[in-house]
Amino acid sequence: MSKPVVGIIMGSQSDLRIMKEAAEVLDELGVVYELTVVSAHRTPLRMVEYATDARSRGLQVIIAGAGGAAHLPGMVASLTSLPVIGVPVKSSNSIDGWDSVLSILQMPSGVPVATVALDGARNAGILAAQIIGASDQTLASRLDEFKKSLQSKVEIAAKNIET
Ligand code: RP5
């Protein structure tokens, strides 16, 4: 089995119900990933180690999901030059998820996080694959097929409702 190129991390095991959607779409696209829990607040040293070792371990993209005071994606982005995709998770204590969205979205200049929609882990997986696909022709072809399948679904739905 080849080495993971995408790292999926989340602030708590409670985020897995959302973050597993990133893993599922990477499975569909044939992208090898690893998945674990890293908390910016509860395990800060583990976060530093994960982010600083990520590139040397072969990762090319990190997907980081967190809820509430969701500092994990931004802090990881501050520690690595790998692209970081942030997934705001609507946790049970959230104020409608705005806390998660704004914590991840409003990054200072110089430290970007590619933020997807609230609970948008599936899109985070697709975006990670697209970043890797920019220099991987086999994956790019798979992504082209994936895009065509989205188009076909809409065309079939359109035919079904047209009168
Ligand atoms: C964040 O707090 C986690 O990312 C999670 O979304 C939220 C709640 O965590 P738990 O209290 O369920 O562990 O750090």
Counted domains in the chain? 1
Distance 88 CA to ligand 1 centre (A): 11
- ipTM above threshold 0.85: yes
* Tens of pLDDT, residues 111-157: 999 999 999 999 999 999 999 999 999 999 999 999 999 999 999 99
Is there a binding annotation on residue 12?
A: yes
The reply to whether the predicted model has a pTM over 0.90 is yes
Q: Looking at the domain assignment, is residue 29 inside a domain?
A: yes
DSSP code per residue over 14-43? GGHHHHHHHHHHHHHHT--EEEEE--TTT-
Q: Whose CA is nearest to atom 14 of ligand 1?
A: 11
Which stretches of the chain score pLDDT less than 50?
none
Domain with residue 52: its CATH number is 3.40.50.1970
Residue 13 belongs to what domain range? Answer: 6-136
Whether residue 99 has its Cβ less than 6 Å from ligand 1: no
Ligand 1 within 6 A of CB of 66? yes
Ligand 1 centroid vs 46 CA: distance in angstroms? 16
The reply, when asked if residue 27 is annotated as ligand binding, is no
